[in-house]
Amino acid sequence: MSKVKTAISIDHSVLEETGNIAQELDIPRSQVVSLALEEYIRRYRNKQLLAQINDAYSDSPDSDEIGTMEVIRSHQRKLGDTEEWK
């Protein structure tokens, strides 16, 4: 992945903590910032995906889905009546 230089404005305390972490890990401060941004983006995308999944499952089944579920349950009952437990 190519790297790009950029200028950002952040709170002094955040910059200090970033420097402390960089020293502890023996990595450049810019790498700490890059890792933190990657993690933030990953979490943000996961939240978006979870919201989409929740939206997809939040509605009640329509009449076609209800009919399909009834057919499946009927087949399951028939299978349960004919199969023996071993």
- Report the C-alpha gap between 51 and 18 in whole angstroms: 31
Report how far residue 1's alpha carbon sits from residue 5's, in angstroms, rounded to the nearest whole number. Answer: 13
Average pLDDT, the chain: 91
* Residue 52 belongs to a domain: yes
Please determine, for residue 84, whether its predicted confidence score (pLDDT) is greater than 80: no
| Residue 33 counted as domain residue | yes
Domain span at residue 43 reads 12-82
User: What is the pLDDT, as a whole number, of residue 15?
Assistant: 97
Average pLDDT over residues 70-77: 90
Confidence of residue 77 (pLDDT cuts 50, 70, 90): confident
Establish if 43 belongs to a structural domain: yes
Decide: helix, strand or coil at residue 8. Answer: coil
Q: Does residue 56 sit within a domain? A: yes
1 is a domain residue: no
**How many domains does the structure of the chain reveal?**
1
Whether residue 2 lies inside any domain: the answer is no
Query: What is the predicted pLDDT for the residue at 26?
Result: 98
The predicted model gives 71-81 an average pLDDT of 85
Task: Give domain status of residue 28, yes or no.
Answer: yes
Q: What's the rounded Cα separation, in Å, for the pair 29 and 18?
A: 6
Mean pLDDT of 58-80: 87
